[in-house]
Structure 1
Amino acid sequence: MVMNIIRNSRILQFSRSWFPVLKMSTVQEQKIKVGDQTINYVKSGEGPKVVFCLPGALGTIWSDFKPQIEGLDKSKFTIIAWDPPGYGHSRPPDRNFCTTFYEDDAQCAQEFMKMLGIDKYSLLGWSDGGISGIIMASKYPDNVEKLVIWGASSYIIAEEVETFQKLRDVSKWSEKMRAPLVALYTEKGLQDMFDKWCDAVTALYNQNSGDLCSSCLEKIKCPTFILHGDKDPMVASEHPGFLFSNIKMAKQYRFPEGKHNIHLKYSKKFNEMVTDFLLL
């Protein structure tokens, strides 16, 4: 199979409005073809430790990881972040929201890193990206050196399905949450995409009794750092404890006032803690 690397670089000046922006980014985006999928990504820094950032649902490089791309020490880390398949500028094609999309993302992510010639790396996985990160760490133990996850779970409970349904109408989202995604996907595109996401996770709940990747936890061999915001409205408080109890080499930290986006709201502390963990 011939894989074409497309060096379509441009200076990106996008930021999610829920965290302060001190300056515009000068990190250039690039594109690479992985099978039939175009992947949009950035690579920043020249450090010996490679860190691969996995965004959450509908998320992208800049909406989800700007403070990490710009804030982590580039002499210590090489930071890679992508728009997951079918999100952001990793289109076309649009995302296929089948019930295996977490596993599909994990496989595509591993193939993507192979295309970049990177054999060893650590993962920063937020929310949906954390779920795919769990799967990656379990399936590719020789590649994943360390795993950091937050806002993530290995199963879904009924109350969370109800929360997703309450959030289905994107016109009722806060403007801070909605505006950057509307700018990226359009109002109709955002609604269509989130409807499909809600349908997919509801189908997973109904078909698998809520299980997403619980069987993967015991297979994770790498050191794992589980973070959680105790006021996270999207993820039930039982999940970080379950992950901690079922991943062998795990540690955890909880932000008492944190919500779903602790890496954005508390980016300085988050970056410091993650740096200490990754360099240990």
Structure 2
Amino acid sequence: MFFSKTKFANRMLSTQIKEKKIKISSNISINFVQSGEGPKNILCMPGALGSAWTDFKPQLEFLPKLLPEHRIIAWDPPGYGKSTPPKKNFTVNFFNKDAEYAHELMLELNSSKYSILGWSDGGVTAMILAATQNKIVEKLVIWGANASINDEDIKLLEAMRDVKTWSPRMREAMEKVYGVEGFQKLWTDWLNTMLSIYNEKGGNFCKEEVEKISCPTLIVHGKKDPMISKEHVPYLKKKIANCRYYEFPEGKHNIHLRYAEEFNKLVSEFLRS
């Protein structure tokens, strides 16, 4: 039997990627996607309301070729994607709780050491995890992330409260996962939690944890990212001791999707260094 190059590539890809559910503490069932079979481990942490497939498809599909010695694991945090039930438990400390759950997942997957790729909200969770598990997290890559939320960020988020005002391209993937009404409800709950963090904690996500990160860290930034105010990246560069920085001059918030090939190459070189 003969296959075209595309069909052959797809067939090879399908043998590398596995999607499963596994139970961690409190009987919570976590959905995750794994690609590659290497002895080293990478955990991919999605952004707000995100999941393995909505946020990391190009990494799951192509990083194994660049990093054959790694196993790439992308999860759906509890209450997101296919990790439901339970319903997402939004509290002012949900980032910290998600960091605990993520670490439990990796232990269940026999990953005693691992590196992390964290985007946006996932970058916040990743920084907390890197700080609290500094003997276990080997390397950290973050982008679109911030250690706190300020007045400018709140104004930006409030302007996005009604998802109907978003472009169809921005909301399409989430509406496929949650449905139109479900997406709006979950987004509203998330946004209200940001307001609670702003009012109750002075907007502090993880300022204390950031200063405790000791692993080699790569901060990647889209210079035209409209989702975070300008103070956040300089703050992280200053506070994370062992960090490198790379900027996409035309990049916005989703540089790992928009510039997937360049991003994957950048990340693989950092993780191999």
1:121 to 99, 107, 114: 114
Structure 1 position 83, deviation (Å): 0.6
Counterpart check, 1:89 vs 2:89: no
1:198 to 191, 197, 211: 191
Structure 1 position 264, deviation (Å): 0.4
- Find the residue that maps to 2:64 and give its secondary structure: coil
Distance across 2 between alignment mates of 1:246 and 1:191 = 35
1:55 to 41, 46, 60: 46
1:171 to 164, 168, 178: 164
Whether the 8 Å CA contact 1:230–1:237 is kept in 2: the answer is no
> In the alignment, which residue of structure 2 is the partner of 1:209?
202
1:250 to 233, 239, 243: 243
Structure 1 position 152, deviation (Å): 0.1
TM-score (norm 1): 0.90
Whether the 8 Å CA contact 2:40–2:69 is kept in 1: the answer is yes
Distance across 1 between alignment mates of 2:167 and 2:18 = 29
Distance across 2 between alignment mates of 1:23 and 1:202 = 44
Distance across 1 between alignment mates of 2:69 and 2:111 = 16
1:31 to 1, 18, 21: 21
Distance across 2 between alignment mates of 1:136 and 1:28 = 25
Letter in 2 for 1:275: S
Letter in 2 for 1:270: F
Counterpart check, 1:185 vs 2:175: no
Letter in 2 for 1:257: E
Alignment of 1:121-160 (within 5 A): 121-160=114-153
- Find the residue that maps to 2:105 and give its secondary structure: helix
TM-score (norm 2): 0.92
Where in structure 1 are there 5+ consecutive unaligned residues? 1-21
Structure 1 position 76, deviation (Å): 2.5
Distance across 1 between alignment mates of 2:87 and 2:169 = 24
Counterpart check, 1:259 vs 2:249: no
Deviates most, 96-105 or 23-32: 23-32
- Find the residue that maps to 2:117 and give its secondary structure: strand
RMSD: 1.4
2:100 to 85, 107, 115: 107
Structure 1 position 28, deviation (Å): 2.7
- Find the residue that maps to 2:60 and give its secondary structure: helix
Distance across 2 between alignment mates of 1:212 and 1:173 = 26
Task: Go from structure 1 to structure 2 and tell me whether the alpha carbon gap of 1:196 and 1:185 turns closer, same or farther (over 3 Å shift).
Answer: same
Structure 1 position 120, deviation (Å): 0.3
- Structure that is richer in helix per residue: 2
> In the alignment, which residue of structure 2 is the partner of 1:16?
none
Whether the 8 Å CA contact 1:227–1:240 is kept in 2: the answer is no
State the percentage of identical aligned residues. 47
Structure 1 position 95, deviation (Å): 0.5
Where in structure 2 are there 5+ consecutive unaligned residues? 1-8
Structure 1 position 79, deviation (Å): 0.3
Whether the 8 Å CA contact 2:92–2:196 is kept in 1: the answer is yes
Counterpart check, 1:224 vs 2:214: no
